[in-house]
Structure formats: structure tokens, C-alpha cells
Amino acid sequence: MGEEEVYKTANDNPVKFLIMTHEKFFENGVNAVIGLCDELREYIKDKYFMDEFLDSVEYRKLRYYEEREFEIEN
């Protein structure tokens, strides 16, 4: 596996497994990497929900990379 494939896999796996383990909430995005399921779309307009949601996603991302000892650029 070449370096480019390694980076692609490292980028794709968090999304792939988030969708696989939380399929009630997420789906493959049409015009994006990941999308919310239809039942949650109405909450996108709720600022409190979005703040909590984005915080949860950021936490999962950091934990994923930390467990695999990747360095994260902010």
C-alpha cells in the first residue's frame, strides 16, 4: 500500500465506521462525506443541538486519532 492509499484509508475509516456503528444517525453524504439521517435533519436549525453535535464529532475524531497515535494538525 502506497503512502497516498494509507492517507486515504486513514481519512475514510473514521467516517466508514461512524456510519457503520451509528447507522440510526448517519448515512453516506450525497454532496458531502457524511450526512445526518432524515429523522435528525429538523434539528440542524437548533443551535444547541448543533453545538453539542459538533462537539461530539470532534471528540470522536480526536479519540480515533489518539488511539491510533496519529498526529493531528489544527
Quick: pLDDT tens for 45-62: 899 999 998 898 899 888
Predicted local confidence at residue 52, as pLDDT:
93
Predicted local confidence at residue 36, as pLDDT:
80
For 1-43, the pLDDT digits (tens) are 788 887 788 777 777 887 888 888 888 877 777 788 888 888 8
Report the amino acid identity of residue 23: E
Of the candidates 29, 1, 10, 13, the residue with the CA atom closest to the CA atom of residue 73: 10
Predicted local confidence at residue 73, as pLDDT:
67
